[in-house]
């Protein structure tokens, strides 16, 4: 009975994937946070598959460089400077994309920020800022896009969440809180919007070798905090190749998958959290004992916190990816 049930589940998934599978040629895709890192990696792949792209970011310099690169591939692209923590700017962004291309087929919510610091240095305003950037911005763009999807009879939403939205990570509390909320929002949207032929994909990546650590915010013992985070995000066992991750995400979107956990480690970790949550908490407590304590509440960016500890053979690829993925 169990074998038969698993076989039926696999068959149902295969049939669903074949029904919902799409070709990206001519599709209009909006990628928030599309000027660098994973957003730029996805833009490259979608451009190579014939998609018409719209990207947005807050940095005009990085935005301009990304637009030029994608345009040089022969793809149609338009770039917008926008702060999506402002609901009106999110509305204006979606309206501008629809006005320019005449439609919007796929929204990829990739924009976000990260703060690394011990709990004693975190203010309520820190949580609010990260929630604004990681959760509310995604909700604002979804609420702006959904009416267009409904009017045209279909649409796809992709929410880039995190393993930190399944398992809380020490010294990353605001980020984990925002990603837990975003994961719940994405899963709920997937259930509610399917009736309108709007497919929602929840993406659960691990740390990723995009070069993004240099743009995080750090509090506490800046060099030590940055060193552990950058090193963890550089080790193959803990992190994943950004190009491979981008390809997996694009494939999941093409097939209409409702959720994709991008790595075997991620799948094992989420499964372990489900069956042995106390053990996962015990591991997190142990890890926290080795992380640096501090009373220094000053903020620095990652690139301002480099030291000998964050440079070397283990982090060399992250530095290379920073240049490749427009993180400088």
Active-site residue numbers?
175
Q: How far apart are CA 205 and CA 257, in angstroms?
A: 15
Q: Please check whether residue 160 is in contact with residue 210, taking contact to mean a CB–CB distance below 8 angstroms.
A: no
Q: Which residue has the tokens 């995400």?
A: 249
The sign of the torsion formed by the CA atoms of 155, 158, 159, 164 equals positive
**Residue 17: both structure tokens together:** 């994937």
Rounded Cα distance, 254 and 236, in Å: 27
Residue 77: how many CB atoms within 10 A of its CB?
A: 23
Structure tokens at 108: 């990829």
Contacts 24+ apart (CB under 8 A), 136-139: 136/85, 136/87, 137/32, 137/84, 137/85, 137/90, 137/109, 137/111, 137/112, 138/32, 138/109, 138/111, 138/182, 138/185, 138/186, 139/185
Per the CB < 8 A criterion, the answer to whether 158 and 109 are in contact is: yes
With the C-alpha atoms ordered 128, 186, 232, 210, is the resulting torsion angle positive or negative? negative
How far apart (Å, rounded) are the C-alpha atoms in residues 41 and 226? 24
CB 203 within 8 A of CB 160: yes
Helical segments of the chain, H only = 2-20, 37-48, 60-72, 87-101, 124-131, 137-152, 173-193, 222-232, 242-255, 264-275, 277-289, 316-324
């Amino acid at each position: 009975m169990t074998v038969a049930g698993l076989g039926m589940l696999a068959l149902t998934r295969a049939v669903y994937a074949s029904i919902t599978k799409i070709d990206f040629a001519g599709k209009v895709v909006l990628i928030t946070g599309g000027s660098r890192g994973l957003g730029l990696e996805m833009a490259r792949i979608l451009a190579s598959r014939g998609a018409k792209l719209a990207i947005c970011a807050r940095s005009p310099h990085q935005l301009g460089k990304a637009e030029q690169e994608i345009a040089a591939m022969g793809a149609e692209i338009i770039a917008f400077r926008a702060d999506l923590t402002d609901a009106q700017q999110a509305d204006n962004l979606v309206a501008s994309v629809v006005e320019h291309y005449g439609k919007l087929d796929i929204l990829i919510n990739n924009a976000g920020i990260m703060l690394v610091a011990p709990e004693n240095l975190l203010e309520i305003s820190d949580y609010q800022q990260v929630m604004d950037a990681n959760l509310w911005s995604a909700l604002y763009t979804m609420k702006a896009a959904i009416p267009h999807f409904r009017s045209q009879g279909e649409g796809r939403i992709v929410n880039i969440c995190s393993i930190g939205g399944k398992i809380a990570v020490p010294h990353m509390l605001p980020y984990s809180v925002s990603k837990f909320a975003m994961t719940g929002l994405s899963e709920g949207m997937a259930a509610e919007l399917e009736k309108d032929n709007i497919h929602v994909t929840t993406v659960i990546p691990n740390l990723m070798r995009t070069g993004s650590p240099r743009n995080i915010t750090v509090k506490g013992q800046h060099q030590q905090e940055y060193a552990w985070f950058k090193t963890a995000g550089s080790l193959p066992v803990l992190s994943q190749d950004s190009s491979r991750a981008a390809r997996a995400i694009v494939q999941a979107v093409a097939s209409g998958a409702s959720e994709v956990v991008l790595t075997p480690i991620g799948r094992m970790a989420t499964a372990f959290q489900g069956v042995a949550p106390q053990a996962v908490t015990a591991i997190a407590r142990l890890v926290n004992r080795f992380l640096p304590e501090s009373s220094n509440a000053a903020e620095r960016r990652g690139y301002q916190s480099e030291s000998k500890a964050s440079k070397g053979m283990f982090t060399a690829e992250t530095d290379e990816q920073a240049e490749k993925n427009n993180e400088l």
